[in-house]
Structure formats: structure tokens, C-alpha cells
Structure 1
Amino acid sequence: MKLWTMPGRRAGFLTGALAALLALGGCMGSDVPYGVPQTNGQSGFNQPFADNAPRQPATGEVIGSGDTRVALLLPLTGEGNASRIAAELKNAALLAMDDSGMQTLELVVKDTGGTTEGATAAATQALTEGASAVLGPLFSANVRAATPALQATQTPMIAFSSDRAAASPGVYLNSFLPQGVVNRTLTYAAGQGVRSVVAILPEGAAGDLAEAEARRTMQQTGGELTAVARYAYDNMSVYEAVQSVADAVRSADAVFIPDGGSSPATIVTTMTETGIDVSNKKILGTGQWTSANLADPALQGAWFADTDQARVNTYKQRYQARFGAEPSLTSALAYDTVVLVANIAKGGGGVQRHALETPVGFNGYTGLFRFNGDGTTERGYAVYEVREGRPQVIDAAPTRFGGSF
């Protein structure tokens, strides 16, 4: 049996994905039309200041000189990795402003310190200064802390948390919600004839979310989640989890392992080494698998859903050329968000909720996405098969909403 190591984590469960068209600096096109409605300057909600009203000077780092002021809330002085991630998001925003044109927005970067108190203060200050919208914060607790002030003025927020519970009307999450990638993997598998699935999941909140979505998706597609096992991060726990569902695995079409790092290979190897034949079973995963060793023989032929890596890699190459370091996937969310808001601002009338909720969605470096009225995000993911140690696209990410993936 393989020695257990704690799996790597990408932010937002992938971690942990503008045209409605975002021009993306001329580097990317899309056949989704830019679907933001034309306006006559009326917002459809109450903004704290009219765009043509005198504004007080902004507090924070100012990027751009546009008529529409937007605040970007980041944990620039936060503890741990928070400040590093914040620096990446700010760099991504700067790259987006370069591409969109410095005259499209006045982007004001504000430091939350990574705390709820800091998030509340930064959001309140942004409103006082006449921000048409707030981008960020990053952490779910900070999103919740900033929400009351923004909802009181119906000022939209586009935050980067992957906690679905942090979303609400007018508080949108441009992130990778775990439910979406689970749904994409299992829906595709069902379309290929998979009807019965056994899930082997980590203990904790991530496992809870994966189980709930797996049950819902399998029921929706006419299949069944026939058994579930949970494990902690040690060899004995994995062994016991595998043995507890051994009979169910033998009669199932597929085994679903949504965790990353060493988890997928360890679990599949444990099954084979304890006499469970999985040679005729489809192994299924999620975008967490980008942190796994896909060269492991145990994972060959497996399927998993993830963002369109070709687009993401284009973004990463541009970021590295500009800033000299490889960025995280999370930073691409900030790029897409700033370009989206800049394109909306070009139409006049500020950043409006009905424009953000356009049903045709947007296309960016993180792929196709759209905001729902409840603040959650739908995304278009590609499906990959592990072949010769590398992920190969077997079902491309969609280019528009409305049809099957």
C-alpha cells in the first residue's frame, strides 16, 4: 500500500473557472455575444452617488482614471498565504486594466487585513467614496461581514469565496463552487452509461458537499449513488473506507474520488491490492486531480472535470511574462472580474445587477460562467481523461449556455 501524504489543495475545491464578450486584450475571442443590455444611465437600483456627481478622493491604491469607481477588497496585509494571494489578485487586476484601458474604470484597491472588521470597514469606506460596485473580498467570513452595508444600498459585490453560503442576491461569487464540477463529472459519466456510483470521500465539509451533489446529480440523471465511504488522511482510515464499500464497488459502474493530492492513486491502489477488481470500473474525479500524480498507473483512463486548461495556461503565461512568477488559478478570477466590470462600465450607468445577471453569461480565461439571481455562479467545465499520465480533453468546455455540455 502507498504511504499516505496530505493532498495538495487548490483554492475553492478545484484549488482548490468574458464574452457575453470580454475582449481580453485582443488575446481571446468567444462566440458568446456580449449580452449586457444597453441602458440609458438608469441603474434599476439605488446607487449612493450618481456617476456625474462630485466624488471625494479615494482612499487606497488607485488604478485607472475612468468615470466609474469600483473598489477591490483584498487581504494585502493578511496572515499566512493571504497576503501572497492578495498580491496575485492585485497583479491580475492590473493586467486586466492594462487590457481594458485605464480610462474604463477607477479601480481602488483597499486592504481588509484579512479580517471581518477590515472587510466591513473597507466596504463601508468604498460606499462613502461612491463605488459603483465592490470586487472581493476573498474569504467567506469577510464576504458576510461586508454584505450588510452593500445590501443596504443595493451596491453589487463580486467576491471570490468558494463558499456557496456566502452568496445572496446582489452578492455574487466569481469562484469555483464545488457543486458545479461534481455535477459536470457525473453528468458526463451518466451520458456514457454510468448508472451506479460508489463515492469514497474525505471527512469534513468538502466531503459533505461532494456527497450531497453526487446524490442529487445521480438521481437527476436516473442513476444512483449506491454507497459512500469516508476517510481521514492515514493509511488505516483509507483501508477501512475501501473495505466498507468493497461489495458495492464490485457491483457498481464507477468509483467517484473527488479529492486531490495522493488521495486518488492511494485509494485505487488500495482497492486493487486488497482484491477488489476495478479493471472494468470507471474511476471519476474532479479538478482537484490537477494536484494528483496523473502518471500513476492506477489513474490511467480516469475521467474528471476541470476548467479549460488551455485558456488558463494562456493567462498564466501572460501573467508570468508581466510579473515574473507563475500565478494561482484564483488570480485569474480577479482578471476576469475586472475585465467584466470594465466592459459593463463602458455602457454607462455604473455597474448594474441586471447586467451582471445576463443569462448568456460571460467568457474569460476561467471559461464560460454566469451569475444567478441568488449570487451563485454556473460554469462551463471541460471533461478530461487521463492518458499516458496527462489529462486529455474528451468533452470540450461549452462555449455558450442553454445546450448540453
Structure 2
Amino acid sequence: MFARLPSLRLPGLPRVFARFAALAGLALMAACDVAAPGAGGDGGPRIDPAQPIRVALLVPGGSGQDDADFIAASLENAARMAIADLQGAQIDLRVYNTGRSANQAAAMTQTAIADGAAIILGPLDAQSAAAAGLAALPSQTNVLAFSNNTAIAGGNVFVLGRTFDNIADRLVDYTSAQGIDRYLILHQDDLAGQTGRDAVASAVRQNGGTLLGVEAYPFSQDGIFSRAPAIAQAVQSSGAEAVFVTDSVAGGLPILATALTDRGLDPAASPLAGLTRWDSAPQALSLPGLQNGYFALPDTDLNAAFERRYEATYGTRPHPLAGLAYDGIAAIGALVAAGDTDALTRARLTQGSGFQGTGGPFRLLSDGTNQRALAVARVQNNQVVIVDPAPRSFGGAGF
């Protein structure tokens, strides 16, 4: 995913959001201008599906950061849950700590391949995933990274995280079906904001909508306040029927939404639509500026069932990213269970039928990105209301 955001240090950030920032910040993983490894054709090691398949799990443990160690434990626990659920496939899981270091990720990838790993699951950060992909390229070993940064996808690297492209397409597809086709984009002026901006612009074009304009703001509290009057004026004068925002509730979104409503923006006339999970900070749902707004999330029933099972097994709630490790093992296991020696090649990993994950169906695409089933939620009366459920299979509404 994307870098730890400077919004976590916004001066004067309302205390109600501050305690969500540290954990959410680690979930927004490191990014920079990293390139995907070279194309790998349909490469991948041949396996004997009748024997245990060695899978390397790269987790951010060993960094000395409590939050990173919590993520590492959650990922490992979820992977072992998935292994216990498999039928017709044997997985020999080996766990490697990478800390938050790209160099360590590359070294652990080389060690894992020398140990006989047929596929790499992880690592967490975008830079680390790119490094792992390069380290795995000579052996044509595929990497299923926990990142959502599409800049590092491609070749032998696949990203498992929910991408801005996937989210933007889902939200634009839904809102356009409701008669909304005039959009404005507001984004923080950093890499994550720019990536989100591009994802929304592409989704609007592909769905036949009209992009009325793009407004950026410096990623600081003072920057938001200084730009708020001009942004509010731009929204009101544009006639936008929906306003996409790329910021998060752990970052600048609460300040932005409040500043805009204070300057007369009517969320009933021009609702916000967000690329991040607004429900990660329940207090944010009471903000006037987020009322009537849209965001996307996985199938709530399936995701809740996974979290209950995890808590019953391990006695604690999982980190929100834990499901990605479960999904990765589920995909690997489903392919191995089919009994083919080429189960872990790019051609098989990108099968159109996809896989069943903790939040519903998902599939890996040939460009290294993914498509996930997502529900559309709306904030109504300070509560999250699912207005369009996540599809349970490919080919239906929502895909």
C-alpha cells in the first residue's frame, strides 16, 4: 500500500481520530516510484500436487515495532487458518521475517527459494514487494504481495490488497446507475492522493461519466484550511453530482469534510465518495460532511464470519489486513487441489473464475492487479447502510 501518511502528524488533528491513526498508518504501506519486475510470461515452477507444497510467508516481524509485529502475527495466524480449511491440497508453510526493510525482503525471498518455496506470499510494503519480485525473478517464482500499490504489480508480482482502481470503478459504476454522471475529484497532494485521483479519473472515463475538475490541497491541516474556500466554491459552481475524495478518516478527511460543510457545501446535493474505509473510525460517521456519502467495503457478512472464527481460534481480533493472507493461501490451495503441475504459474493464477476469499470472490489479473467483490455503503443518519451488496460470484451486478 502507500506510505505512512504525514496526516498522522497534522497539528491539531482532532483527538477523536488520533488513536486510529497509528494502527491505520501501518496499514497504509510504503510506496515510492517503484517499477514492476520484468514480464515473466506464464512462468512459475512446476510442482508435484500430490506432495506438500512449500509456501514462503513473508511478514513484517522482527522490526521492533509493536504494530508491525501485530500485523505479522495476524497474517501468519490467518494463513494457518486457511491451511486448516483446505481440501485436496497440502501446504508446507515457512515463515520469514522481513521487518520493514526491502533489502531484508529480498534476502528472505532468496533464502525461501533456496529452501524450496514454490511461491512467495507477502511481503507487506510496496518497496519490499518490488524487491522480493526481483529476487524471485531468476527462478520465475511468483509473488503474491499484501500491498495494494499497483505501481509494483506486473511480471511475477501480484498485489492482493484492495486497489484504488477496483474501488473507484465499483463506486462510479454504482453511482452512474443511480443517475449520477458529473464528478469532481478532491485529493491530497501526495503519492496516495495522486494515485487515487488517477484511478477515479480512469473509472469516470470508462463508465461514460463527466469529470468536471480536479482540486488538490497540501497534506496538512493549514493546507486544508487555506484551500477549503476555493475548493468549496469549485464544487458549488461546477454542478458536481458527486465529489470523490482520496483522503482517509485517519488522515485529513475529517478536517476536509468539516471545512467544506462550514463553507456551505451541501452533502445532500453533492455527496462525497471515498476510496478509503470510512467505517474504520466510527466517530467519523457522525460528521455532517460525510452524510449521504459513499464508500466501498468487502462483503460484511463474510468478513465478520472470518473475524469471528479468527477470534475464536486465537483469542484476539485480527488486524484488518489478516484476510489477505487467508486469501492468498485459499488461492494457492485451490490451484494445487486441481492436481496440475503448472498450478502456480501466471496462467493459472490469473484464471478468470477467480477464488473465494474472506470478503467474497476475487481474481488476479494479468497485469498483476486484482478485482475484488465490493459492497457499496452509504452514510445515513450517522450509520453505515449497505446500498448495494457485494456480488457473490463473477459476472453478476457489481462486476
TM-score, L = length of structure 1: 0.81
**Matched-pair contact (CA < 8 Å) for 2:260–2:289:** no
How do residues 168-187 of structure 1 correspond to structure 2 at under 5 angstroms?
168-187=154-173
Q: CA deviation at 1:221?
A: 2.4
CA distance in 1, matches of 2:210, 2:13: 30
1:341 is aligned to 2:332: yes
Q: 1:231 to 1:12 in 2, by over 3 A?
A: same
Corresponding position of 2:34 = none
> Aligned to 1:242, which of 220, 228, 241?
228
Listed as ranges, the gaps of 5+ residues in structure 2 are 1-11, 31-41
> Aligned to 1:316, which of 307, 310, 318?
307
1:280 alignment partner AA: A
1:261 is aligned to 2:261: no
For residues 311-348 of structure 1, the C-alpha deviation after alignment (integer angstroms, 9 at most, x for no partner) is: 21111111111111111221111011112212222233
Q: 1:88 to 1:221 in 2, by over 3 A?
A: same
**Matched-pair contact (CA < 8 Å) for 1:333–1:366:** no
For residues 84-139 of structure 1, the C-alpha deviation after alignment (integer angstroms, 9 at most, x for no partner) is: 21111111112112222697111111222332232222222222222221111111
**Matched-pair contact (CA < 8 Å) for 1:341–1:351:** yes
Corresponding position of 2:190 = 204
Corresponding position of 1:351 = 344
For residues 121-179 of structure 1, the C-alpha deviation after alignment (integer angstroms, 9 at most, x for no partner) is: 22222222222211111112222222233222222221111221211223211111122
- Determine helix, strand or coil for the equivalent of 1:294: helix
Listed as ranges, the gaps of 5+ residues in structure 1 are 16-43, 53-64
Greater CA drift, 269-278 or 352-361: 269-278
For residues 230-255 of structure 1, the C-alpha deviation after alignment (integer angstroms, 9 at most, x for no partner) is: 23454442233222233331222122
How do residues 31-42 of structure 1 correspond to structure 2 at under 5 angstroms?
none
1:294 is aligned to 2:282: no
Q: 1:239 to 1:97 in 2, by over 3 A?
A: same
- Determine helix, strand or coil for the equivalent of 1:229: strand
CA distance in 1, matches of 2:27, 2:69: 17
Corresponding position of 2:63 = 78
1:366 alignment partner AA: G
Corresponding position of 2:377 = 384
**Matched-pair contact (CA < 8 Å) for 1:161–1:175:** yes
**Greater fraction helix:** 2
For residues 38-82 of structure 1, the C-alpha deviation after alignment (integer angstroms, 9 at most, x for no partner) is: xxxxxx7463x7639xxxxxxxxxxxx952212112222124232
- Determine helix, strand or coil for the equivalent of 2:286: coil
1:280 is aligned to 2:269: yes
Greater CA drift, 120-129 or 203-212: 120-129
**Matched-pair contact (CA < 8 Å) for 2:310–2:318:** yes
Q: Which has the larger radius of gyration?
A: 1
**Matched-pair contact (CA < 8 Å) for 2:359–2:373:** no
**Matched-pair contact (CA < 8 Å) for 1:316–1:327:** yes
Structure 1 vs Structure 2 CA RMSD: 2.7
The count of aligned residue pairs is: 362
CA distance in 2, matches of 1:373, 1:11: 28
Greater CA drift, 225-234 or 352-361: 225-234
Q: 1:110 to 1:235 in 2, by over 3 A?
A: closer
Q: CA deviation at 1:373?
A: 1.4
Corresponding position of 2:52 = 67
- Determine helix, strand or coil for the equivalent of 1:161: coil
**Matched-pair contact (CA < 8 Å) for 2:132–2:143:** no
The higher-RCO structure (CA 8 Å, 6+ apart) is 1
Q: 1:377 to 1:150 in 2, by over 3 A?
A: same
**Matched-pair contact (CA < 8 Å) for 2:232–2:263:** no
> Aligned to 2:320, which of 301, 305, 329?
329
Corresponding position of 1:150 = 136
Greater CA drift, 352-361 or 235-244: 235-244
Q: CA deviation at 1:362?
A: 1.3
1:353 alignment partner AA: R
CA distance in 1, matches of 2:131, 2:27: 19
Q: 1:275 to 1:386 in 2, by over 3 A?
A: closer
**Matched-pair contact (CA < 8 Å) for 1:229–1:242:** no
Q: CA deviation at 1:212?
A: 0.9
TM-score, L = length of structure 2: 0.82
CA distance in 2, matches of 1:259, 1:308: 22
1:92 is aligned to 2:78: yes
CA distance in 2, matches of 1:14, 1:309: 23
- Determine helix, strand or coil for the equivalent of 1:329: coil
1:227 is aligned to 2:216: no
CA distance in 2, matches of 1:308, 1:266: 29
Q: 1:14 to 1:383 in 2, by over 3 A?
A: farther
Identity across the alignment (%): 30
CA distance in 2, matches of 1:363, 1:46: 22
CA distance in 1, matches of 2:346, 2:262: 54
